[in-house]
Structure 1
Amino acid sequence: MPPRLHVDTPLSPGAEIALPPNATRHVQVLRLQPGDALTLFDGTGGQWQAEVLAMGRREVTARAIAHEALEVELAQAVTLAPGMPANERMDTLIEKATELGATAIAPLVTERSVLRVAGERAERKAQHWQAVAVSACEQSGRNRVPPIAAPQTLAAWLPGALGAAGAGARGLQLSLDTTAPPLRQVLDAAAPGTHWVLLSGPEGGLSPAEQAAAEKAGFQPVSLGPRVLRADTAPLAALAVIAAHGHTA
């Protein structure tokens, strides 16, 4: 299969574009030549059959040929809002959540968060994670890259979280309380096309005060079962359940 590459320039039939730096390096490493096939996507939907037009030492030019209206998005949109796990685990969480179909990701700083960033550092983290999401889309066949927000505190995010997801959005809070309804049960009872906003805690979970604030903001506690999952495992498990539910509902 031709290499799949994301470009940040809108494509049209016959458009000739200089590939962005990461895509350029990928083409150079593969030693592609003018006329070799590529698959490009610009994030606006579908993908493009394309070809290498010219190879330079620092620049690669490609030409879009034909659009393919291919979509592999989830049947139900999911905004994932994880309390950030420490260090490289967040990179893995972004990568896997993108592969599983997350519509958007909002990293959060909570009371028990180990990873705490703000200001310019938060913006740099978001840019890095956005690049991770782009790579995951290239690998997984997705044509729409989920936006990765700059990290913010749970308190700042909660008031507008459901409104930002649009009408009909529903908030779910992953809970360690096994008396909370199972996630699948809540999904079964929901209207088709619901936009889920999925909140999960960091190592140690959300504090009691944060759980109460989330419920007050409209987030329903749900359970994934009796096992205690890591901070980077729980949201991925929930996302996989939602993805599977969309195919079987």
Structure 2
Amino acid sequence: MPRLFIDAPLAVGQILQLPDDSARHVQALRLREGDPVVLFNGTGGEYTATLSFSGRKVSASTQSFLADDRTPAHRFILAQALLSADKMDWVIQKATELGVAEIAPFAAARSTIRLDDARAEKRLAHWAGVARAACEQCGMNRVPVVHPIAPLSAVARRAHDEHMGRLALAIGTQRAPHELPPPAADSATMIVIGPAGDFSADELTLLDHHGFARLGLGPRVLRTETAGMVTVSMLTAVWRLI
């Protein structure tokens, strides 16, 4: 059944006109009068609804609420060094599919991407849309938070101050995911992924200072856009979080 994100309060028995982007999506799918859809607004749960049409306007009538959340009990925060537009979109999309709760982009010393304030703001709005669309596809009812681009120092300090589990993927590290103890209940883990050129020596010192444990994924060197997805997947499996 098609799923649509609606950035508005939802309630049973409501009739609402769909925003233009959702209406275009409905029309692209060639849905018809009375067809069922699922609506969600990112606060948890979802609503069954049926469609009605008036010219190019599309409305949905909500019928029932399902409390199904599908959010993993353990919160992963993926801190990802800035990537090119297509690669960053892919990371956000796949992280959402894996149930990551937050994505924190940061500018690394060896990042090849540099964004001024205006471009960063536009990119952030775009990334939020990517996360919403990924939720529509994968069944998540809570949209991951995509944070504004920040320095690595601020990202690391937040993880330290909030007492998160802290992991940094670093080339040449021998400690593997299956060697890590399982997390405490209702806790969170931040995973920091560096750029293609890996962390600088100063960045590794910074991460060490804030209590990040270095983690490795074996003898092969993964692309930075792949590394975070593999790490989240492996920890989900070895910690039995599914």
- Same fold at TM > 0.5: yes
Residue in 2 aligned with 1:116?
Answer: 114
1:182 aligns with 2:181: no
* Change in 2 beyond 3 A, CA 1:16/1:248: closer
How far 1:230 moved relative to its partner? 0.4
Amino acid at match of 1:156: A
- Choose the corresponding residue for 2:194, options 190, 193, 201: 201
Out of 158, 168, 174, the residue aligned to residue 173 of structure 1 is 168
> Aligned partners of 1:112, 1:90: CA distance in 2, in Å?
16
Partner amino acid, structure 2, of 1:183: P
Give 3-state SS (helix, strand or coil) of 2:225's partner. coil
Structure 1: state its 5+ residue gaps. Answer: none
Q: Distance in 2 between matches of 1:173 and 1:138?
A: 30
TM-score, structure 2 as length reference = 0.93
Cα pair 1:172 1:222 within 8 Å, conserved: yes
In structure 2, what is the Cα distance between the partners aligned to 1:50 and 1:4?
10
CA displacement 1:194-228 (0-9 Å, x = unmatched): 30011010111110100110111121111111211
State the partner residue of 1:236: 229
- Could you list the per-position Cα deviations for residues 67-102 of structure 1 after superposition, in whole angstroms to 9, with x for gaps in the alignment? 111122223110100112223111111111111111
Tell me which residue corresponds to 1:73.
71
Distance 1:231 1:68 in 2: 37
Poorly superposed stretches of 4+, deviation over 4 Å: none
Please report how far the alpha carbon of residue 244 of structure 1 lies from its aligned counterpart in structure 2 after TM superposition.
2.1
Q: Percent identity?
A: 36
Residue 40 of structure 1: SS of its match in structure 2? Answer: strand
Distance 1:162 1:8, change over 3 A: farther
Unaligned runs of 5+ in 2: none
Q: Matches of 1:244 and 1:96 in 2, distance apart? A: 16
RMSD of the TM alignment (CA)? 1.7
Q: Distance in 2 between matches of 1:24 and 1:205?
A: 43
User: Aligned residue for 1:144?
Assistant: 142
Go from structure 1 to structure 2 and tell me whether the alpha carbon gap of 1:87 and 1:248 turns closer, same or farther (over 3 Å shift): closer
Give per-residue Cα distances to partners, 1:128-173, cap 9 Å, x unaligned: 111111111111111111011121221333322343xx4x411111
Q: What CA distance in whole angstroms lies between the structure 1 residues aligned with 2:168 and 2:98?
A: 19
Residue 69 of structure 1 aligns to which amino acid in structure 2? A
Question: Which amino acid letter does the alignment assign opposite residue 193 of structure 2?
Answer: S
Which residue of the partner structure matches residue 216 of structure 2? 223
1:80 is paired with a residue of what secondary structure? Answer: strand
CA distance in 2, matches of 1:155, 1:62: 45
CA contact (8 A) 1:95 1:136 kept: yes
Distance 1:191 1:157, change over 3 A: closer
- Could you tell me the TM-score, scaled by structure 1's length? 0.91
Look up the equivalent residue of 2:110 and give its one-letter code.
R
